[in-house]
Structures are given as structure tokens and as C-alpha cells.
A and B are shown apart, each in its own frame.
Chain A
Amino acid sequence: MSRAVDWSRVKQLFTQALDVPAEEREAWMERACAGDAPTLAELRSLFAARAAPDRVGGGVAQLMSPLLVEEEGTSRIGAQIGAYRLLRELGVGGMGRVYLAERADGQFTHQVALKLVRSELAGPELVQRFLRERDTLARLAHPNIAQLHDGGMSPDGSPYFTLEYVSGEPITNWSDAQRLAVRARVRLLLKVCDAVEHAHRNLIVHRDIKPSNILVTPEGEPKLLDFGIAKPLVEVPGAELTGTMMRPMTREFAAPEQVLGEPVTTATDVYSLGVMTYLLLSGRMPYRRAALGQSGWTKAILDEQPEPLDRAITRTVVQVAAANDDGLAAHPSSMIDIATLATARSTTQQALKRSLRGDLERIVQRAMAKPPNARYTTVAALAQDLRAYLDGRAISGGTRTYRLRKFARRYWLPLAAAAALLLVIVGGSVIVAADARKIAHEATTKLAVKDFLLGLFAAVDPHEAKGKNITARELLDRGVQSIEYDRVLDSAQKAEIDATLGRIYYQLGIFDQASALQKTAIQAISADPGQALLLAETEAEHAQTLSDMGDAKSAVALVADAMAKLDAIPRVTAIERARVLSVQSSVASEMRDFAAMKRYADAELALIRGSDVDPRLLFTALTMAGAASWGLHDPTQSMSYFRESLDVASRRAGAHELNVGTAQTNIAMVLRYESRFPEAVEFDEQALATYLKVLGPDHAKVMNVRRDLALSHYHLGEYAKARAGFEQVLASQRASLGSRHPSIAGTEINLGLVLTDSGDLAAAEHTLTEAIAIFTERFGPEYEGVRLASGDLAAVHALQGHLDQAESELLKIRAVQEKIDPNSHGDSSLLSRLGEVARLRGNAKEAVNLQREALALAQRERGESSRFTAMNHHFTALALRDAGNTAEAIGELRAALASFAGYLPNARHPLAATTRMELAALLAREPATRTEAIALATEALSIRRDFLGADDARTHESQDFLDGLQKAR
């Protein structure tokens, strides 16, 4: 505007001119401004502007409301939501705002992304959808998916959740900035595929895969974000949302079926991954002719074939994608020529072209096929081909009908099962009588549990299952997550499922999870008289879990309560009662109350033996009875129960492998007691193979067998194997049970023996001391395990020359023994150790007496052929020798060798080598027996060399001994 004009005159003339008809206005203004050219020009300009397309009005109202909405975002900064303080806004989505937040309580300094439902929009539908995103995320746990932390309600009642805060760049920008080569880009994509596949395994389709939803951290880990429009494959009835609430997916990455509004499946994500792959590899969007407008894209997505990658990179046309923030905005493709693309991929133009031809081209074309069923059936299949490309293997190309059939089968089952469940529930509600409804409810509960569990397995890709990538644990964890957020099942059904899952976790040896689920189930039904039986059962199962976790005391009370509840229920079946008896027996075992254990087990056997029950129940009862007999020092009866249990487990077609394994380990236990170690090893190794196959390497049972095997190896003199075995078991037990579990003390006692006999006395002392502490803490100072470990420790001290200490320890053990069982005949190893201390003190006479007593006991308890008997012969001989009775000493040493030979082929054992040397030393005194002495010393050397190694000090000692004998000759 020219400042030369008089505005009040312009204002006046403008107002008047408005009243003049438009066609006469120009003439009117010329007349009115006669001679005043600037004023005329001003008026003309204003009227021209007035007639131009409106740029002022209308828009203001539209401008107003959104900005007021945005005001809220900033106003929340600094506010506290739950435990978090909002630091700044990261973005606004269709339903939520995302803030950077940190914990306000100062407990952690880490930052999270906090997503808050947009309160200004918070209608019930939006809140429901928001919660669904939360649920969706809760089902996902993957290193390449931004992890859900927690959620809650903000002070004003709107829901929120917190996520792993990903500070990163969109995958496309990052790859270019890093100048990632094509192969490295493919590797990056594989991680993305893995994340998407994880979502699919959890029956979630992402539906909005694009570069801005895949941020790469500075460490190079891609993270899949924003499940805001993700969709469960199996829709929860009643949770369907209105179409108007559906946020539009990002156009450029949308699949044809999304554009057409057709059903979305996992194939939709395959398509988007195809576009992503195309873009990341070529730096171009796939459709050459796609115009700027929405309809142009739509048409391209539906009709246009993606341009071949090697041609797309030479494209000079203006690229469309700069209009969004999908990682392209920073580099409008129109500015990037092939030379830049090649540089960003650390290669040359020609090499880039070459690498994009062939396999990669076929892979993106297949991923982006228009009909969903022509694409890769699963993301895993796409990933497989990308991997094949990296490995230089042939990519897939077989017939598709086969895959399609698999796909249909995979998703048909849960869908059909869900429909069936719905029918049953609806059907049930028609019946009026309360009893009938109760029966219907029980039926639906059983069905719901079955259906739920089936659903877990139906979601597994058979290909993948074969590759054993998926573990039962994964399946279960998935189940636990989905049950937690399930809105269809009622509380009794949930409790039943929780209890079932708890039982399975228990079976897998994952006790803490089992316990948590069982507790939840118990809480949910404890006030419901209709669920008394389920309550009693679950209590018993929880008791079992607690007992296995080492809390036997709580378990005793809980299982007693379960039995009392069961007694109060009329018409309880034998099997139901047997189950609780079984837990009682098991808990008694954990309390080391073997009499009670046997009593419960025999009561259970009386209920079920010979009746037509599940053989597994009978098996368990037999095992318990056998174990109780074992605890009561009745190996013969024990063996008879265990043999019967092995028969029961193997009898039926489709023998229950695990039970066969259990029976085998039990039999091995008795065999070890009878010093039949080679046989015991055989049984244990069969059991170990079974357990490893069925339970995996970390299961408690696997550890027990390893421990037993190590024990046998110890007895067979294979110390290195034994030590490695025990140490492996200890590490695993500490990892799964914590450091103070009694099982650990048991293992430590055994390890202590190995260490003692290997000559590592300091380590032995340390290990045994810890075992004593753990056992004392758990079972009191008078527990048999404490006495056992103390005896072993005393032996170590004796070997170290601390005779007083050893003696006082041994006497303490004897005092406890006499207090517990005044009629006891004593304990052979205790007497033998006391005798050895006496001998070392030079008190040979007393030593002879003690050793003879010990020997007699060992012969009675273990028979002539056993390690204990052999060792008692050996120590008796030493005492006799020291007492000057060489002849009898020689006799005892020969008896010791015979005893060793009775259970070890050729008496080849390091202890027996020592016996040979002692015998040789005595025989060498007489010329007549000197040849035999040299033969024995030679055998001893050979044994020590084989068992202890050529470099061991004891082997050298043996060599020197032999050399001495030969020289003397």
C-alpha cells in the first residue's frame, strides 16, 4: 500500500463503492477519484483482493480448535503421572500423546516414553482402543520391539502406559548416515522381520510398518514402535470398534487390501515389509507413476507393479514421499541421484545395480504381490529368503498352494475354537435351572481352559516349532499375558486356567511363576463355595510348588488345609483324595519325615492300586513309597517299589518317558547304595538322555541326574568327571534355586568328597563348611545331612593333621546320634574315622578296636562287596600294622582288595591303588612275597596314572615306591 494516500478517504470511498453494482463500480471509482491516481489505484487493489479466493475467513475457526488441543500437550509438561514426571512432548498420535518422562521418585534415573490418552478426546471408545494398544504391547517381549514397562491411570482418570524410550533415527536415515552396504541393510531388515514375526506369533498384526516406526538406536538395534493401530488376529468378541475410530494407515506403505478395506492379515505386514525393503535397499518408493494425490497412490498400490529395483535407482522423476515424515523428508528423493545412493551404500553405481538384481528383486516383488495369498505366507518365510540371499543359498520358489493350505490351517483353528466357545456360552445362558447352569458353566470352563491352551499351540508356526526356536516357556508366558488381559472369561474360568498354567509351569520346574499363578487362582476362588474342589486341588498343588521351592513348612500347613477342605466336600472321588495324599507324601519327604511320607504313600496306594486309574498316579505313589523306604534305610523294599514303578511307567503303549526316567534314576540310587556303580551309571545315563530330550538342560531333574552320575563317577574313581559334574550342578542350582537351598548343600557334600579324595583339602573344607551351614539353617543342627557333612569335614581335618579338631567334631556327631537313637548300632564311617584319628595319634590298640567295630557294621549294612567295607578293611589293616600285627594286616588288605573287586572290575580304583601299595609295602618285607609286592606296586602305578594322570603327585609317589622296591631287589 502506498503511504501517499489518505486512508480515511479510501475508507469512505470504499464503503460507498460497495453499494454500487459490481459492473458499474470501476466507472464509479474513476469518477470519484478524478485526478487522484494513488487513491484510485488503492481502491482498485482492495476490490481486486476482495474478489480473489478467500485467504482470510473461514480458516480462522478451523485454526483455533486444534491449537487449543495442542495447548494441552505443553501444559502437561512437568506434571506427574503415576511415578513419572513429564519432561517434554515427543509427539501426538491419533489417540495419545507421547511424552518423554522420568521417574519422579528418584528411584531410577532412566527415561521412558509415556503415552497418555488424549484427554480431550477421551471417550469410552478411544479409551478402550488405547487400553488395547497397551494389552497388545503387554503380549510382546522382544529385543527389537519397544518394550512396555507399566501403565495406570493419571490423576484425571485417563489411562496411560510407559514404554522403553527409544532414542534413535528412522531406519532409512540411519542406514544412509552409516553408509550401510546392501548386505548390512538386509541384516538390519532381518531383525525387523524377527520383531514383526514375534508380534504375529502373538496373533498381532502391526498394520503400520514404515521407516518412522522403526527407529535404530545408536547401538544399531532397530526397534519397532507404535502398535497404535495394531490388531489382534483373533478378535475378542465385543471389542470391535467402529470404523470411524480407525486411524488411517500410512498411505505409501499400505497394502492393497488395506486400501480396499478388506480383511487385514499377517500378509499385510509382509507387504509393508516388502515396501520397507524396497525403500531401504533402493532409496526409492516402489511405484514410478504414483502421483502426489491420494487417488494416485491408491491406483498405484492396486494396479502398478513395483518398478524393478535396479531401474528405480536410476529414476530422475520427483519422488512423492517427501510429504510425510517417514524418513524420506530429510532427503527428498528427487535430490538424490544414483551416485548419492551408491555412496550411501558404500558401493559403486554398477555394483549397486548388480546387487539389486536377481534374488533381492524377486524377494521384494513376492513380498509386495497384490493378492495377499501370492505373498510370503509368513514373515518368517520372507526372512528365510533374505537369509538365503545373505548365505548365497537359493531362495524359495516352490508352489504356493502348499503354503496357503498351511496358513489356512494355522489360523482356522483358533478362529473356529473361539466360535465354538461363544456358542457354548450363549447356549448355556438359555437354560434356566440353576443346577443346569452350573453344569453348563463347568462345561464351558473346561472348554475354555482347553480352548485357551489349544490356542497357545495353534499360534505356533509348524516350521518354526521344528526348528525348536519356540519353547514351552514362551508359549506359557504368552498364555499368562493374554489371560491377564482377557475380558471374556469369568473369574472361575480364569482361575481354572491360572491353576492349569501353574501346574504346567511347575512341571517345567519354573516354580516362582507356578506359585504366583496358583496364588492368583486361590485368591480368586477362595470365597466361592461353588469352587471348593478346585480350591482344595489348587491349594494342594500350590503346596507342592512351595515345597519344591524349599518352603516345606508352609507347604505342610497348606496341604493339610487342602485335605481338610476335601474332607468337608461330600462325594469326593478316590482319585481326588489320592492326589492330595500324594502331595502330603511329597511334602513330608521335603520335611525328611520319611515315616509320614511312607504312611501317606501307602494310604494312596491302598486307594488306587489295582483300580483303573491313570497309571501316572500309581507311578507317583510307588515312587513316593520307594523313596520313603529309602529314607527309612530299607533299600530292599525301596528297590521293590522302584522296580514296580518302572514297570508301571513302561508298561503301557506310549510309555511315559519322564516317569521311565524317574524310575531309572531311583533304581540307580539304590544301585549306588549297593555299590553297583557301573549299573547305576547305565540307568542314570538313560534317564539323563530322556530328561534332556523332554525337559531341556536347565531342569531340576536333569541336575539331579547329573549329580547322581557324578557321584557314581566319584565312586568309580573318575574324579575329574565327578568334580566337573558336581560343579555344573552347583552352578545351575544356584542360578535356579538361590544360594541357600538344601539341594545345594547335598551337592556340596558330594563335591566335598571328590575334592577330599582328589587331594584339594582346602576347597573341600570350604565346600563342606557351607553345606553344614545351609543344612543347619534349614533343618537344624541334628539333621542327618549336618552329621554327614560334619563327618566328612572331620576327615578333611584329620588329613590336614588337625587331629583334635577332627576328634571333637566326630564326638559331637556321636553325641547327637546317641541322643536321637540310643539303641543305634553306631555308624561305620564315624567309628572308622574315630579309629583313624586314634591311629594317627599313635593309639594303635584303640584304633584296632574301633576299626573292627566299624568293619563289622559295614559288613552287616553293606555286605562284603562295597566301598565302605573295603575301606574299613583297609583302615583296620593300617591299625593292625601299627599295632605290630603284620600278618593280620596283610589279611585285611587282601580282604579290602577283594571287597573292591567285588563291585569294581579288577578293583581298579585310586583307593584300591593305595591299598595295593600298603599291601606291597608289607609283602616286600619278606623275600618270598617280594615279586607279588612289585606286581601290586606296578598295578597301583598303572591305576594312579590312568585315574589321576601322569603328572599327579600321587602318581609320582607311586612311581618312586615302585622304583624303590625294584632297587631293593
Chain B
Amino acid sequence: MQGPEHLTDLLNAAQSGDRDASQKAYELVYAELKRTARNSLRRAFGADTLTPTVLVHEVYLRFNGVGAKPVRDRAHFYALAARAMRQILVDHARRRGAGKRGGGAHVTDLDRALTLEAGDSVRALELDAALRALEACDSELAQLVEWHFFAGLDFEEIAKETHRHKRTVFSHWELARAFLQRELGAAVP
């Protein structure tokens, strides 16, 4: 990793409209998330204890560790982290789907206890599509979902970061969820 302070600088630069810095910050967070996830999994000896919340918080703490310039714009960071997490999921699901279709694997003994089921990758891609539909309709709701799902922020935190009332956040969440449910085919027309 290139150093936590580097992220802060990138975020600040991004804030003042530097698109390149924004992309770099995103890549940095993406890489850091994956690294942290691996380390956490190794320590925890199992996947059960690893949630997006734990992960994003850990990455956040890493970027705000001793000697690092604090990331002042937390909202910006969460936005990046949530987007990165979502991207990780989607990238993976696509690869996995491609692998399935290509059927190239020779060693076929797969204990799937800890790997993404074929059904799960489909679900992940569908969820991504539904989120994109929501984004097209209401980007504020889409970000709310991203933050909650992929950055693991609870409604209180989201309310604080977005300067909204917690009740409003909850209502919006309910609407976003209903929207996604319908997109995912749960609704009985």
C-alpha cells in the first residue's frame, strides 16, 4: 500500500474536481478492501465473522491510523468503499459466470461451503442490475442501498453522514428495498 496519507490527498484532490485523483482513490480503496478481507479471513479462520461492516470499518481505521492524515471527508470515503465493494462482488460474479459457461475447470471436486454458488453469482448480477435501475430512477436511494449493503453502514450512520433525519433514511430504505424487490421479481403483479 502506498500509505494512508496518500488516500487523504487523493480524496482532497478529488473533492476539488480532480477526476484522475478520484479514480486513483477508488482503486486504492478497492485494493485495500480486498487485502483487508483476506487478512481478516485468515485471522478469523472462517467467513462467518466477516461482514462488509467490519471490513469497511477496518479499512477506514487503517486509513486513519496513527501517523496518517485523517480522512476528513468520511462520506466520500464510504461512497468509494461501498462502490468498490459492489464492484468486487460484480466482477467476481461475472468471472464466475464466465467460468461456468466455459466449463474449463478440470478439478471438479468443489466443496462449496465457502465459494460462491452459481445461483449466488446470478443473484449478485441481478442485484447489480436492479441497483442500476434504481440509480437511473433515484440516485440518492441507490447510494443509500450501496452504503447500507456494501459499506455496511447502519441507518444512524448514514443519517449522520448525509445530514438527514434517521426516520427519513429508514423510509427511503423501505422504498428502495421495495423497488429492488419488485425489480428482482418478488412482486405479485
Chain A residues in contact with chain B, CB under 8 A?
1, 7, 11, 14-15, 18, 45-50, 52-57, 59-72, 74-75, 89-94, 98, 100, 113, 119-123, 166-168, 170, 208, 212-213, 215, 225-226, 228, 247-248, 325-326
Contact = CB atoms under 8 A, between A and B. Distances in A.
24 contacts: A7-B138, A11-B175, A45-B187, A46-B182, A49-B179, A50-B177, A52-B181, A56-B130, A59-B123, A60-B52, A63-B124, A64-B150, A66-B114, A68-B55, A69-B115, A70-B92, A91-B106, A91-B110, A100-B106, A120-B38, A121-B114, A225-B109, A226-B107, A325-B110
Contacts of B107: 90-91, 93, 98, 113, 225-226
Contacts of B189: 45, 48
Interface string B93-117: 1011000000001111111011110
Contact of A60 (B47, B108, B149): B149
B168 to A, nearest CB: 8
B104 to A, nearest CB: 8
A493 to B, nearest CB: 35
A61 B52 CA distance: 6
Given A71-B92, A93-B111, A48 B187 contact: yes
Contacts of B50: 64-65, 68
Contact of A121 (B34, B46, B55, B89): B46
A166 B178 contact: no
Contacts of A89: 105
Contact of A325 (B85, B108, B168): B108
B61 interface: no
B16 interface: no
A15 B171 contact: yes
B42 A122 contact: yes
B88 A71 contact: yes
A70 B52 contact: no
Contacts of B1: none
A14 B177 CA distance: 12
B120 interface: yes
A237 B92 CA distance: 42
A357 to B, nearest CB: 33
B56 to A, nearest CB: 10
Nearest to B34: A71
Given A18-B174, A67-B116, A92-B115, 10 more contacts: A49-B181, A56-B184, A60-B149, A64-B55, A64-B150, A65-B50, A68-B34, A91-B105, A91-B108, A212-B108
B29 interface: no
Those 9 A-B pairs whose CB atoms lie nearest each other, nearest first:
A91-B107, A49-B187, A49-B182, A50-B178, A94-B111, A49-B181, A65-B47, A52-B186, A68-B37
B137 A56 contact: no
B93 A120 contact: no
B144 interface: no
A93 B38 contact: no
A47 B179 CA distance: 9
B180 interface: yes
A38 B67 CA distance: 57
A65 B187 contact: no
Nearest to A165: B106
Contacts of B42: 119-122
B177 A56 contact: yes
Contacts of B92: 67, 70-71
Interface in B149-189: 149-150, 152, 168, 171-172, 174-175, 177-182, 184-189
Nearest to A115: B107
A68 B152 CA distance: 15
A60 B150 contact: yes
Interface residues of B, number: 58
Nearest to B104: A88
Interface in B12-56: 34, 37-38, 41-42, 45-48, 50-52, 55
Contact of A14 (B130, B175, B185, B187): B175
B127 interface: yes
A120 B40 CA distance: 8
Nearest to B53: A61
Contacts of B55: 64, 68
A67 B33 CA distance: 12
B52 A121 contact: no
Contact of B51 (A47, A54, A61): A61
B107 to A, nearest CB: 3
Given A46-B182, A60-B127, A70 B96 contact: yes
B178 A63 contact: no
Contacts of B45: 121, 123
Interface majority SS (helix, strand, loop, mixed), chain B: helix
A773 to B, nearest CB: 52
Contacts of A48: 182, 187-189
B181 A213 contact: no
Contact of A70 (B106, B116, B168): B116
A71 to B, nearest CB: 5
Nearest to A16: B171
Contacts of A71: 34, 37-38, 88, 92
Contacts of B187: 45-46, 48-49, 52
A94 B112 CA distance: 8
A166 B106 contact: yes
B52 A215 contact: no
A90 B106 contact: yes
Contacts of A59: 120, 123
B115 A74 contact: no
A223 B152 CA distance: 47
Contacts of A93: 107, 109-111
Contact of B109 (A67, A68, A91): A91
A796 B188 CA distance: 107
A98 B109 CA distance: 10
A67 B38 contact: no
A56 B141 CA distance: 14
A167 B188 contact: no
A60 to B, nearest CB: 4
A226 B38 contact: no
Contacts of A100: 106
B38 A68 contact: yes
Contact of B178 (A46, A66, A168, A228): A46
A478 B173 CA distance: 65
B94 to A, nearest CB: 11
A54 B181 contact: yes
A511 to B, nearest CB: 40
Given A61-B52, A91-B108, A212-B109, A46 B95 contact: no
Contacts of B149: 60
A19 to B, nearest CB: 9
Nearest to A3: B137
Given A68-B37, A68-B38, A71-B92, A45 B182 contact: yes
Nearest to B184: A55
Contact of B89 (A64, A170, A325): A64
Contacts of B130: 56
A100 B104 CA distance: 12
A68 B41 contact: yes
Nearest to A247: B111
Nearest to A158: B42
A285 to B, nearest CB: 17
Nearest to B111: A94
Contacts of A67: 88-89, 92-93, 96, 116, 124
Given A11-B175, A91-B109, A69 B41 contact: yes
Contact of A66 (B34, B47, B171, B185): B47
A212 B109 CA distance: 7
Most-contacted residue by chain B among A92, A208, A247, A325 (CB, 10 A): A92
Given A1-B137, A14-B175, A56 B180 contact: yes
Contacts of B48: 65
Most-contacted residue by chain B among A7, A55, A123 (CB, 10 A): A55
A248 B111 contact: yes
A59 B150 CA distance: 11
A362 to B, nearest CB: 31
